[in-house]
Amino acid sequence: MNKPLISFEFFPPQTPEGVEKLTAVRKQLAVLNPEFFSVTFGAGGSTQDRTMETIRLIHAEGHHAAPHLSCVGSTRDNIRALLLAYKELGINRIVALRGDLPSGMHSIGEFQYANELVSFIRAQTGEHFHIEVAAYPEFHPQARTAHDDLINFKRKVSAGANSAITQYFYNADAYFRFVEDSRKLSITAPIVPGIMPIMKFSQLARFSDMCGAEIPRWMRKTLEGYGDNTESVQAFGLDVVTQLCEKLIAGGAPGLHFYTLNQAGASLEIVKRLGYQ
Ligand code: FAD
């Protein structure tokens, strides 16, 4: 079986120690020859400079770097300036998102949805960037209906997105169904599953409540049962997530995008167990 394309996502560190730690994490993950490392962007621009700086470091190390860019709360001028700065730096892949308005921020700015950002990137920079967008196999929490969400996904691809990365999920069937339904709507872009390794149950439960990703009951009950026993949580997580990845690849997923939370261990171990190291 061919090795699937693998990519890793980081958040921009806040402290010099965080920067140092992430450099070490990248070094560990680089041996897997990833397609790219991506760096998140705090909606409303809260991490704008730190995202750019992290991208600069990754690029300087000779890796492919993909900044995330979320448009909510922003202006055309600001997004244009960021696109040009990234272009000048030699970056050619962007993850284009709407983002969620941070609490306390009231103006959505000049873009309402991610499809508008994708159109804007194409209008400003032509085909320079490979554009990734977000996709939701278990559907975005604000979508009126599942079908509406698929139509909105199609809108982003029609606006010029090249491929998609999904929200994480633990139910492979949701992904396969989503891909099948997308193909029925003539969406041909690759849809790469987002993979969330399990490191801490309380953290995972919090994320999942926020983003609408389901932790299946059998998993939730098992993880709850482990309480503070981190070793058991992580051992269970590695088994479950490795099996999920195996199923996804066997079923035709074009790659795996790991939400690393700036840690190398779990992602490395999963890729090793998959036999891709
Ligand atoms: P959209 O595609 O705009 O969709 C948002 C909602 O609006 C959906 O319910 C959709 O169905 C609906 N919708 C879309 N278009 C229309 C329309 N024209 N009319 C009516 N309804 C519409 N957030 C960050 O802040 N920073 C990050 O770095 C970041 N990285 C992410 C990476 C990945 C791979 C993923 C999956 C998510 C990421 N997020 C990030 C979270 C993301 O910003 C949120 O999930 C956000 O709520 C939606 O962003 P979107 O780009 O999917 O929005």
CATH code for position 104: 3.20.20.220
Q: Looking at the predicted structure, is the pLDDT value of residue 181 above 80?
A: yes
For 233-258, letters b (16+ CB in 10 Å) and e give bbebbbebbbebbeebbeeebebbbb
Which residue owns the Cα nearest ligand 1 atom 42?
99
Please identify, by atom number, the ligand 1 atom nearest to the C-alpha of residue 168.
36
Q: What does DSSP assign to residue 189? A: S
Residue whose token pair is 């450099």: 23
114 lines ligand 1 (CB under 6 A): yes
Residues in the chain: 277
pLDDT (0 to 100) of residue 105: 77
Q: What is the mean pLDDT of residues 198-214?
A: 94
Pocket test for ligand 1, best of 70, 93, 167, 208 (most atoms within 8 A of CB): 70
Q: What is the mean pLDDT of residues 132-143?
A: 97
Q: What is the mean pLDDT of residues 45-70?
A: 96
Q: What is the distance in A from the centroid of ligand 1 to the CA of 57?
A: 27
Of residues 104 and 2, more confidence is placed in 104
pLDDT (0 to 100) of residue 257: 98
Pocket test for ligand 1, best of 97, 112, 150, 260 (most atoms within 8 A of CB): 97
140 lines ligand 1 (CB under 6 A): yes
Of residues 108 and 210, more confidence is placed in 210
Q: Look at the alpha carbons of 164, 169, 170, 175 in this order and tell me if their dihedral is positive or negative.
A: negative
CB proximity list for 96: less than 8 A, separation 6 or greater: 69, 71, 114, 117, 118, 121, 131, 132, 133, 156, 161
Q: Looking at the predicted structure, is the pLDDT value of residue 152 above 80?
A: yes
Of the pLDDT bands very low, low, confident and very high (cuts 50, 70, 90), residue 56 is very high
φ and ψ at residue 189, rounded to 5 degrees: -60, 140
Query: What mean pLDDT is reported for the chain?
Result: 96
156 lines ligand 1 (CB under 6 A): yes
Asked which of 4-18, 97-111, 169-183 is least confident by mean pLDDT, the reply is 97-111
Q: What is the mean pLDDT of residues 170-187?
A: 98
CB proximity list for 186: less than 8 A, separation 6 or greater: 154
Of the pLDDT bands very low, low, confident and very high (cuts 50, 70, 90), residue 52 is very high
pLDDT digits 0-9 by tens, 88-105: 999 999 999 999 988 777
Q: What is the mean pLDDT of residues 205-234?
A: 95
Q: What is the distance in A from the centroid of ligand 1 to the CA of 144?
A: 14
pLDDT (0 to 100) of residue 159: 98
Please identify, by atom number, the ligand 1 atom nearest to the C-alpha of residue 142.
9
pLDDT (0 to 100) of residue 1: 57
pLDDT (0 to 100) of residue 265: 97
Q: Are 157 and 191 in contact (CB under 8 A)?
A: no
Domain encompassing residue 138: 5-273
* Cα–Cα dist 232/84, whole Å: 47
The single-letter code of the amino acid at 65 is A
8 forms beta bridges with 37, 258
Q: Are 42 and 74 in contact (CB under 8 A)?
A: no
CB proximity list for 146: less than 8 A, separation 6 or greater: 139
How many domains are there within the chain?
1
* Cα–Cα dist 226/272, whole Å: 25
38 lines ligand 1 (CB under 6 A): no
Of residues 3 and 71, more confidence is placed in 71
